[in-house]
Amino acid sequence: MYVDGMAQQDVLSDATGSTDPTVGLAAVASLRQLVEQLEVLQVDHARGLGWSWQQIAERLGVSKQAVHKKHARRRFGRREH
């Protein structure tokens, strides 16, 4: 899996520098999706370790309200406080 992940990273890295807008924009979309997935994983991990919404928000550079609104409903299908 590591090898596949590295190969995909190489392809994505090459695509971000493409002079073809179709390729470059597809790379941007892929990166956005990857960032969103990473954020979900890390926010869930931090919450599981007992981090407050304020602590998470500070690390992400957003407001507590923004991070809470984005992630609280997803977690267990209900709103957390």
Residue pointed to by tokens 């992400």: 60
User: Which one is predicted more confidently, 4 or 63?
Assistant: 63
Determine the pLDDT at residue 75: 61
8-28 pLDDT, tens digit per residue, is 777 777 788 888 999 888 888
Q: Please state, in angstroms and rounded to a whole number, the distance separating the CA atoms of residues 56 and 61.
A: 9
Whether 7 shows a pLDDT value over 70: the answer reads: no
32-69 pLDDT, tens digit per residue, is 999 999 999 999 999 999 999 999 999 999 999 999 99
Nearest by Cα to 70 from 57, 58, 59: 57
Kindly state the tokens that stand for 11.
């392809």
Whether 79 shows a pLDDT value over 70: the answer reads: no
Kindly state the tokens that stand for 4.
């596949």
